[in-house]
């Protein structure tokens, strides 16, 4: 699929009138031939859920099994297959383009001749950014810079409007595809943040790490980098607030504490805020 110029419906329709355009970052929106597709009433709830599950699993060559497990977890095999076929028919009818969703044997796919999905563009940008960061590491030995890598990663951050919204699962990053996408996003943002630190752009580095933590709130490395940047800007209170949020999330989700490395940094930051005690006078 060709790289799109932007992620707004306006720019997309100028480039190509996609039969189906799906935005899934931050909010789930579907456009059919440039117009918002509505899913009114309970009758369309399952077709919408099916579309979400297909997208959550990458949209291409998605095994039918995980789709059925997500939508009909308590239903036996034959009945689940019948429900799958019926719901797929309703979804195709709803979008008015049967060819946009392919089903062959045990796989279902969104056809990229008819469909545009924001996570596909994000995936392509991340692949290109990773390649450029690797090139930048090689160029650094000869005095080159990461300009292209920086540009691509900034576009990645611009696309990221928020995490995938939950479909039929509690965790919007639960599928292997989305976990992988999240990991690649966090790595690229980390590369950019460290580059910003290296050239002394502390405020921009802070923004990078904040965006990375929006995608992965359990990343201790990102939290550590964020706290260091705040420290370098003499914003100790904000560094400690970031630590507090991270500690709270870890404890509430997993019942664990941050690592000793992060605790030590937080302790040192607290000590740096203590007023210097007055010098004792020598006894007469």
How does pLDDT run across 224-272, given as a tens digit for each residue? 999 999 999 999 999 999 999 999 999 999 999 999 999 999 999 999 8
The distance in angstroms from the start CA to the end CA of the chain is 85
Q: What is the pLDDT of residue 194?
A: 95
Residue of 43, 157, 19 whose CA lies nearest to 96:
19
Domains annotated on the chain, with CATH: 12-117 (1.10.10.10), 119-273 (1.25.40.10)
Q: What is the pLDDT of residue 172?
A: 45
Residue of 65, 46, 64, 62 whose CA lies nearest to 117:
62
Q: Determine phi and psi for 233, rounding to 5 degrees.
A: -90, 5
| pTM metric for this prediction | 0.81
Pinpoint the alpha helices (H) of the chain: 9-15, 45-56, 64-71, 77-95, 118-140, 147-159, 176-198, 202-215, 220-232, 236-254, 260-273
Residue of 211, 49, 51, 184 whose CA lies nearest to 117:
51
Residue 210, Ramachandran bin (φ over 0: left; ψ between -120 and 50: alpha; else beta): alpha
Residue 187, Cα to own-chain centre: how many angstroms?
11
Q: What is the pLDDT of residue 250?
A: 95
Three-class SS of residue 101?
strand
Q: What's the half-sphere exposure (Cβ side, CA atoms, 13 Å) at 112?
A: 14
Residues 254, 261: Cα–Cα separation, whole Å: 18
Write out residues in the chain with pLDDT < 50, as ranges. Answer: 1-7, 9-10, 13-14, 166-173, 277-278, 280-284
Residues 16, 34: Cα–Cα separation, whole Å: 10
Q: What is the pLDDT of residue 63?
A: 95
- Neighbouring residues of 93: CB distance < 8 A, sequence distance ≥ 6: none
Q: Please state, in angstroms and as integers, the Cα–Cα distance from residue 91 to each residue in 20, 123, 269, following that order.
A: 12, 25, 55
């Amino acid at each position: 699929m060709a790289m799109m110029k932007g992620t707004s419906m306006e720019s997309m329709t100028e480039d190509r009138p996609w039969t189906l355009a799906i935005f899934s970052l931050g909010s789930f929106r579907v456009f059919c031939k440039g117009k918002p597709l509505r899913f009114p009433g309970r009758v369309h709830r399952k077709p919408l859920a099916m579309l979400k599950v297909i997208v959550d699993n990458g949209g291409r060559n998605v095994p039918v099994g995980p789709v059925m497990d997500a939508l009909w977890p308590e239903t036996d095999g034959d009945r689940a297959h019948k429900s799958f076929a019926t719901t797929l028919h309703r979804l195709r009818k709803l979008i008015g383009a049967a060819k946009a969703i392919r089903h062959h044997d045990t796989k279902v796919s969104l056809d990229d001749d008819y469909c545009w999905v924001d996570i596909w563009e994000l995936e392509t940008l991340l692949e290109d950014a990773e390649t450029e960061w690797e090139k930048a590491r090689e160029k650094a030995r000869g005095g080159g810079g990461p300009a292209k890598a920086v540009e691509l990663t900034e576009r990645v951050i611009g696309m990221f409007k928020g995490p995938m919204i939950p479909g039929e699962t509690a965790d919007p990053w639960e599928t292997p595809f989305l976990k992988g996408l999240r990991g690649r996003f966090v790595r690229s943002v980390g590369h950019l943040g460290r580059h910003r630190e290296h050239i002394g752009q502390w405020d921009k580095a802070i923004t990078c790490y904040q965006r990375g933590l929006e995608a992965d709130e359990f990343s201790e490395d990102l939290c550590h980098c964020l706290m260091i940047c705040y420290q370098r800007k003499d914003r100790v209170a904000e560094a400690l607030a970031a630590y507090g949020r991270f500690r709270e999330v870890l404890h509430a989700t997993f019942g664990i504490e941050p690592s000793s490395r992060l605790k030590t940094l937080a302790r040192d930051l607290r000590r740096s805020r203590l007023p210097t005690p007055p010098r004792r006078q020598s006894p007469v």
